[in-house]
Structure 1
Amino acid sequence: MHIARLTNADIHWREDGDPAGTPVVFANSLGTDLRLWDKVIARLPEEGFRYLRFDKRGHGLSSCPSDAYSMTDLVEDLEELLSHIGVSQFSLVGLSIGGMIGQLLAHRQPDRMTSLVLACTAAKMGTEDMWQTRISAVRTGGIESIADAVLDRWFSGPFRHSDECIAWRNMLSRTPAEGYIGCSEALAATDLTATTVDLTLPVLGIAGSEDLASPPEQVKATTDLIRGSRFVEIAAAGHLPCVEQTDVFTGHLQDFLKESAHV
């Protein structure tokens, strides 16, 4: 377990794999922590790559600043974390808000990011009114009040009835309300279309066929903004295909990382 005491937040992070390998950074979705990637990391090769995960501010074991969050704040946390760890160049795998963090970071530091995976994300996710409605619900009734609706967007029908889904519901409902609201405010205010279209690095877009939070057509539209990008859709998966269809997700990721390493 590692805690990096950064300028504006204390960030919990973890590393696996080969300490001398090529760094691959994983950025989580809203309402999850770095355990989102447990099953993926377990299936990736132990040699040749260094896997770095972190809890964004307001999530997991990281601190929860009380001020309003912007997408720039979240990106600056990651920039400072990577400098703290001593990582100069890296690939990034971002899911949902993690993918938005990845898009903005690639724009801000194109010489550092070598490739990008955009999983179940978009240049703009949802509308400001949608996010404000959700924020109001959390302020009134806590995350528990929206948990079932969120799980409907996260997972396909069969998975929602599995025992494993209970653990994901618990992870979501135990996220600090202030952290969830802060990241929701960042999402509400962010549209990265104008900067994502200028990205030139290798990009793989991944969508879940049953994703109600970021439908496949939305993920593809964002991926298509970037010249030379690739897109795949994973069947029988919702917003977290790394959880629901781990083998398929990891297969696409591993192939992409190997190809990108030789570009």
Structure 2
Amino acid sequence: MQFVSINDVVIRYDVAGAGDRKPVIVFINSLGTDARIWDLVLPKLTDDYTVITYDKRGHGLSDLGKPPYRIEDHAADLAGLIDHLGYADVILCGLSVGGLIAQSLYVGRPDLVRALVLADTAHKIGAAEMWDERIAKVEVEGLGGMVDGIMQRWFTASYRVPENAAYQGYCNMLLRQPVAGYAGTCAAIRDADFTEAAKNIAVSTLCIVGAEDGSTPPDLVRSLADLVPGSRYHVIENAAHIPCVEAPAAFAAVLRDFLAQLPGE
């Protein structure tokens, strides 16, 4: 576990895997989670790739910064982290808001991006009114009253059972995120729209979605894939909004297949 100050925000990050000899993958976590959502996927990749995980501002062990945020704030933090580590031509793998951050980074710093994996995300997620309602609710009530509804979108019914200790663990992860960081990132999602920018993505792109995703359903993710020239689209069965948790082997296999077909591999 390492820390660095970027844009006056302390960011927690980790680097693991095969070192500079192999392609570098940067994983970007979703709203209300931290980098641990990738823990079941990383061991299936680190023999062959260098992997970077981090907590975006307002989440995990990273600083809160000054919410509300813009997606560009999150992207600038990530660009600063990649520059700090001395990498370029990285593969960005962003889940949900992480996918919006990946798209924003590509727009602002295409020199850093070799390929995109856009998981359970879209060019635009939700209407402004919905996000304003969620921000107002969480600022008044906290995250406790929202857990059940959020978990219904994050995970399938078969995962959300009392005997699954991991499910309770991910409930705890959500509950322990800073309310201001959660609400601030909701504002960033509300204001982000990459509908036009997606049409100009010129790197290899894979769009992945869990078949039962309740936040960014397959049809929405498919609409993103249709915008990105030459992109690939894949549905992961028996998973909802966070397939890297529910179906890590399937997620890693799809990712490996995509990476193996990148130019130069």
TM-score by length of 1: 0.97
CA distance in 1, matches of 2:67, 2:217: 31
What is the deviation of 1:262?
2.6
CA distance in 1, matches of 2:174, 2:257: 30
Contact 1:97 1:187 in 2 (8 A): yes
Aligned to 1:223, which of 214, 219, 225? 225
Listed as ranges, the matches of 1:236-255 within 5 Å are 236-255=238-257
| 1:68 partner amino acid | P
Listed as ranges, the matches of 1:18-29 within 5 Å are 18-20=18-20, 21-29=22-30
Unmatched 5+ residue regions in structure 1? none
What is the deviation of 1:196?
1.2
Instruction: Find the counterpart in structure 2 of residue 112 from structure 1.
Output: 112
Instruction: Find the counterpart in structure 2 of residue 259 from structure 1.
Output: 261
Listed as ranges, the matches of 1:53-72 within 5 Å are 53-72=53-72
What is the deviation of 1:84?
1.0
Structure 1 runs, 4 residues or longer, greater than 6 Å off: none
Instruction: Find the counterpart in structure 2 of residue 43 from structure 1.
Output: 44
CA distance in 1, matches of 2:139, 2:67: 15
CA distance in 1, matches of 2:55, 2:263: 26
Instruction: Find the counterpart in structure 2 of residue 187 from structure 1.
Output: 189
What is the deviation of 1:45?
4.3
Does residue 33 of structure 1 match 2:22?
no
Aligned-residue RMSD, C-alpha: 1.1
Does residue 169 of structure 1 match 2:171?
yes
What is the deviation of 1:151?
0.2
Contact 1:143 1:173 in 2 (8 A): yes
CA distance in 2, matches of 1:147, 1:6: 31
CA distance in 2, matches of 1:82, 1:220: 29
CA distance in 2, matches of 1:239, 1:111: 30
What is the deviation of 1:43?
1.4
1:117 match: secondary structure: strand
Does residue 15 of structure 1 match 2:15?
yes
2:51 match: secondary structure: strand
Aligned to 1:201, which of 200, 203, 210? 203
| 2:216 partner amino acid | S
| 2:32 partner amino acid | G
Pick which of 171-180 and 20-29 moved more.
20-29
What is the deviation of 1:256?
0.8
| 1:38 partner amino acid | D
Unmatched 5+ residue regions in structure 2? none
Corresponding pairs, count = 262
What is the deviation of 1:104?
1.3
